[in-house]
Amino acid sequence: MVIGADPPDRLDKALARDVPADANLSRTRIARMLAEGAVRCDGLPVTDAKAAVAEGQVYHLRLDPPVALETVAQDMPLSVVWEDGDLIVIDKPAGLVVHPAPGSPDGTLVNALLAHCGDSLSGIGGARRPGIVHRIDKDTSGLLVVAKTDRAHQGLAAQFERHKVERHYLALCHGQPSAADPRLHGISGVEFEAGGILRVATQLARHKTDRQRQAVTSHGGRHAVTRVRVVEGFGTPPAAALIDCWLETGRTHQIRVHLAHLGHGLIGDPTYGGRRKLSVKAVGAAAAGAADAFPRQALHAATLGFVHPVTGQALSFESPVPEDMARLIDQLRDGAARA
């Protein structure tokens, strides 16, 4: 490849700008190639990513075949909503971990995708693996998109970074967030928009004493924005509500933390939901008991929309409410009507 006119002031930036588009090389990948001696100029390896660069210089980049991961492919059932040569959209059931980690070394979505996709994975960052651009928690159900190629991975990651991906979640929370509640108006980061939409904008960081949790913080952390709209309330006054939450950002546990910040933690959430119980008077004993026994956070990734990173086609997918949440919604609705 040849460095073009007015190159950036350092080599990794110049290579990332001028490398042929069909090579699908990110700046991170190029930096790694430099460190590995896979970039040469005048027959000699160049390893300094910050090296000066000049127009017309010729560089040769060695692209090694994608290496196989140690992660084992496992034949597991998958609900595939969409698939082509560049990406795959999965409707994930609750209970399935997305990526191998300590405590979940296998039996994950990545293990299943390695088996399902096989040789159609052309390599992400030099490894033959699915490109995870976003995750949903183990006990959250619903839609997520995974890249099968480097070009799709880069394109999807850019859309997520620019907050261009549409993501709506359906959830069941304790109580009902309402603009008529003066308490909410006094909570930091909370404001109400037209149409009864509640906007929560805070900084999120790891909890000071429990590193497995996230927490709202006034110093440091990462900016997080969630919008909430009430779909249906259950009981008078509402003991619970079905809500539509959509993300402007996508931080770890964002919806769960923000709803807890509002005092409307999700039903079934063992980490952020607290020990709150529904009012038997409002929804009846059966529905209150069903909510108390719900085995996971009542959260479902229901809508996913993005632009196909290769074809430019606008794609949008919807996942129906899973059976366990649908059953609880019916119980709350019936209990409230009888109470």
Among this protein's residues, is 12 annotated catalytic? no
Fill in the amino acid letter for 44: L
d(CA 81, CA 312): 18
Among 18, 91, 137, 269, the active-site one is 137
Per residue in 187-212, is it b (16+ CB within 10 Å) or e — as a string?
A: eebbebeeeeebebbbbbbeeeeeee
Residue 338 forms beta bridges with which residues? none
Residue indicated by tokens 């971990």: 97
Tell me the C-alpha distance between 285 and 102, whole Å. 40
Contact 146, 155 (CB under 8 A): no
Q: What contacts 146, CB < 8 A, 6 or more positions away? A: 87, 88, 89, 90, 109, 113, 130, 131, 132, 133
The single residue listed with the structure tokens 């809500």 is 243
Q: How far apart are CA 95 and CA 320, in angstroms?
A: 17
Instruction: Classify the C-alpha dihedral 50-51-53-57 as positive or negative.
Output: negative
Q: Which residue intervals of the chain are DSSP H helices?
A: 11-18, 27-35, 109-117, 150-161, 182-185, 254-262, 280-292, 323-338
As annotated, the active-site residues are: 137
